[in-house]
A and B are shown apart, each in its own frame.
Chain A
Amino acid sequence: MPFSLSQSDSTGRLEARMQKVSLVFSLAAFGLMIYGFIRSLMAADSLSFPGHPFPPLQRLILHPSLPPGETWMCAGVLLLGILPSVRVLLALWLYFRSKNLWSTFIALVVLLELLLSVRLSV
């Protein structure tokens, strides 16, 4: 018996969906980053090297009053940062639908660990 879902699934459903999700999220994330970067360049307000770091998530959520370019860049980096979690979520959903409960449980724990890492940063 093949070991993995990705190997046993003859249509490569999981692999194909992972590829599509990775492509869409990556292009969206880099699109946002480039747009924000160009806006910041045009405003020439915050491109001194190395400049200042991204604001903490808490400040971003509670007081979203960043310069426009920086908001887009921040959104792009965060979108890229959550892509691995989205891939785990997708695996969780496909395992659940195929009634593979043990793998569903493992994917859920990994997802919770990733959410914990976000929580620790706030």
Chain B
Amino acid sequence: MAAVSSLFLIGILAGILGAVMGLGGGIFLVPLLRLLFHLTMRTAIGTSLVGVIATSAGVAAFAPRGRGADTSLALRLELVTTAAAIAGGWLAGVFHARVLEILFACVVFFTAAYTHFKAGRQAKTPSRESLFRPEYQPRHWAMGLSGAGLAGMISGLLGVGGGFIKVPIMYAVMDVPLGIATATSNFMVGITAAASVFVYYGRGDIYPTIVIPTALGVFMGAMLGVYALPRLRVGWVRAALIMLLLIMGGYMLFEALA
């Protein structure tokens, strides 16, 4: 029962962070499950994918009206992302666990660097930019679709939603307002995770005693995150996130190389 309670608490933490930062939460779940429960990489990834779907569902169900995803843009990008996620899910069964761990550590470090970079950018232009500007026209589709494909491949391989790639691609490359990019990414991570979760399911990497308390915790965490978001000090959350990512990335790299 202690393990089940711990999984539930980890799920809540991942759900809150996933909802607050606009990510799926898999980037926290996989290393935490590996670190605390010594699960195999594929079991951690399969559990994380169900958690990512739970975050997406929780945010979609409880987000305030008028802050929704651009469904049309999401589906256009998902054409490539979903196909890449299926391929990634299949490839994960081919690669050695150590390769996945090193790749995961690199992705975690990249996410920490991106979060830090984004904080600097937002500090320079705090109020001139509208998060949810109603009229916009996405541009640079070739680059956008390429980035979406990369996000899908990483999602299938590593069990993360890929939101940390999708948000900057939509925001910085395709010129989509940041608020809409984050909401759209949240819609997309659920679809991308669903594309590879059945591959893991069929391979026997999803355990009920692990996935159910974790997913339930993530769902409740996402609900809390949606309600807590307007009341949180973003700077503190961001600093905590970067610290957490660096610790987990370092651990994954250490374990892969040790």
- Chain A residue with the shortest CB-CB distance to B53: A80
Asked if A30 meets B202 with Cβ closer than 8 Å, knowing A4-B73, A19-B61, the reply is no
**Complex Cα distance A31/B243, Å?**
35
- Chain B residue with the shortest CB-CB distance to A113: B82
User: Which residues 2-48 in B have Cβ within 8 Å of A in the complex?
Assistant: 3-4, 37, 39, 43
Give how many A-B residue pairs fall within 8 Å (CB-CB). 193
Query: What interface size band does chain A fall in?
Result: 35 or more
Q: A-facing mask of B193-235, CB < 8 A → 1, else 0? A: 1111111011111111111110110010000000000000000
A96 lies within 8 A of chain B by Cβ: no
Quick check: A87 and B76 within 8 Å, CB to CB? no
**Complex Cα distance A120/B37, Å?**
29
Q: A-facing mask of B33-76, CB < 8 A → 1, else 0? A: 00001010001000000100110111011110110111111011
Quick check: A117 and B71 within 8 Å, CB to CB? no
Partner of B137, one of A3, A33, A37: A3
User: Within 8 Å CB of B68, what residues of A?
Assistant: 6, 12, 14-15, 18-19
**Complex Cα distance A15/B198, Å?**
26
Quick check: B82 and A81 within 8 Å, CB to CB? no
**Complex Cα distance A52/B136, Å?**
49
Quick check: B198 and A84 within 8 Å, CB to CB? no
Of B83-91, B99-107, B114-122, B246-254, the one touching chain A: B83-91
The 10 closest A-B pairs by CB, nearest first: A121-B202, A15-B68, A121-B198, A22-B60, A84-B194, A4-B70, A23-B61, A22-B61, A53-B204, A113-B82
